[in-house]
Structure 1
């Protein structure tokens, strides 16, 4: 069995689970350290299109602490592992109800379209709500990486992973081609579907949260940029990551909507406030 996941956090949790179950030597994990809800996916399945995505993602991924190098090498490694997957291997793809993992699911299924192998799907959002009996309206993790290892193990052991039929695969492949035909750089999950939107889609939300934070401050002084990004993340029902939100914050600074104090090299180095 080879498990395919989207993100370093869920990769670490799943590897821990497999070790706890004593099957870490039989079951392997391929992790795409990507954020498929952001950045271009235009013709990404074609040769040499990954470089165009890297060029765009470099705007969002920090070069501090070798983050950019780790990201780039991690993505390239995952691609190589997919290409080297032996035919006849059973693949399990882990996903949840957000544009990041759902886009990743369609991309991987397309990459494996010529491979003769069984593919199963575990939707952690659905399994979390069903197995852990989450009441309607209660908190459900926004992405698989938010699920702690002990609950992830319950999902793996008691869940009902779905076998992807040939018909399912064809549908997912077509949906990928539709996504890969567009040049948008932001995708959201809405009404059970991936929807491509303009890159500035969340700008108004960032501004609104900044207004709320500044209204609580009697001095209307600068706030830590990390404080604002954290506030946005805490109230956003989409999974796009803090790096993208900081990228948009910097765009708003460039546009003169926010003013900044400090060095924009990394989030911890500067403060912001809405321009007076």
Structure 2
């Protein structure tokens, strides 16, 4: 018997859930069809299970009620960094962090607060972005519809902090969130890490723009998070402005957005193509045959373009240039490190 308990501890959470499900499937029929002893045992097991579930639910409700502040983030990686920082500050239990798993700088966003708009966006992503479906289904809790449900379910007494930076992805996400919070009475605040970085004189050791949360050094980021309780409140007039700007954005059919001069700029999908060709020509100087790794091309763009764009969109543009005959490729097209590209001289884009 001791060996059974030890082996139980070795089960993963999913394995334990599966085992419990199997035991319930065996037990429940005896609550109706078993003889006296079988029914009594089955009833006691089911009652024990129901009490345990109810107790766990009560603990979760109590934990949620203790949380006075909800943080909204537009990417899972940024949310992970924020959770770690809050834990380091000893404030994780009082703060809930909700995050999208998306990149709002690319793809259609028309009517994405409704099912038809979400389907349209997903179909576009399935067609254009490699590996989209795997990542999409692995993180169901962070899909747009699920996040809409979570945001609209935030209690009225909770304060809300929206985290963003100076990039089209976060700024579109900010406006989408403000649209979802329309007519809510919650106190809504904003932490723009790009602005806060510029205000942090001790961190000004580089001229590179910190256009994304992930670019901040750990200590600098933690120093910013420390001040979250003094986050700037978004006043009513600003809330109305963000809501109106979202309505304008959500009517557009474009599938690429960039951040330029403090504004979201709508761009054609071909916006990146000339930059990609120029990068390939630059890297090809050190190549004997003119071929350069696709991953190196995309990495170079991300390092010097200062825009937060899904790398899968950039790869989609590479393959468009290949299909159009502007680029040649060799290797295996399964992953960026497995194939190389070369400029087909004389072809124009």
Given the two structures, how large is their TM-score scaled by the length of structure 1?
0.92
Equivalence for 1:172: 242
Q: Is the 8 A contact 1:58 1:68 kept in 2?
A: no
Q: Name the Cα RMSD after superposition.
A: 2.0
Separation (CA, whole Å) in 2 of partners of 1:133 and 1:267: 38
Q: How many residues align?
A: 275
Shifted more, 262-271 versus 127-136: the winner is 127-136
Cα distance, 1:13–1:243 mapped onto 2, change above 3 Å = same
**SS of 1:210 mapped into structure 2:** helix
Measure, in 2, the Cα distance between the counterparts of 1:65 and 1:195.
28
Query: 2:196 matched to 1:113?
Result: no
1:120-179 per-residue CA deviation (whole Å, 9 max, x = no partner) reads 001100101112445497123221122244322211224652101111100000000011
User: Matched residues in 2 for 1:255 and 1:201: separation?
Assistant: 16
Q: Aligned residue for 1:234?
A: 303
Unaligned runs of 5+ in 2: 1-68
- Structure 2 partner of 1:17: 85
Cα separation, partners in 2 of 1:58 and 1:71, compared to 1, 3 Å: farther
Change (3 A) 1:132 1:72: farther
Is there any run of 5+ residues in structure 1 with no aligned partner, and where?
none
Which structure would you say has the larger RCO, counting Cα contacts within 8 Å and 6 or more residues apart?
A: 1
Structure with bigger helix share is: 2
Change (3 A) 1:152 1:238: same
In the alignment, structure 1 residue 225 sits paired with structure 2 residue 294? yes
Report whether the alignment pairs 1:247 with 2:316: yes
Q: Which of these two proteins has the greater Rg computed from alpha carbons?
A: 2
1:209 counterpart = 2:283: no
Normalising by structure 2, report the TM-score. Answer: 0.74
Match of 1:51 in 2: 119
* Equivalences for residues 8-157 of structure 1 within 5 A: 8-63=76-131, 66-70=134-138, 74-76=142-144, 77-135=146-204, 138-157=207-226
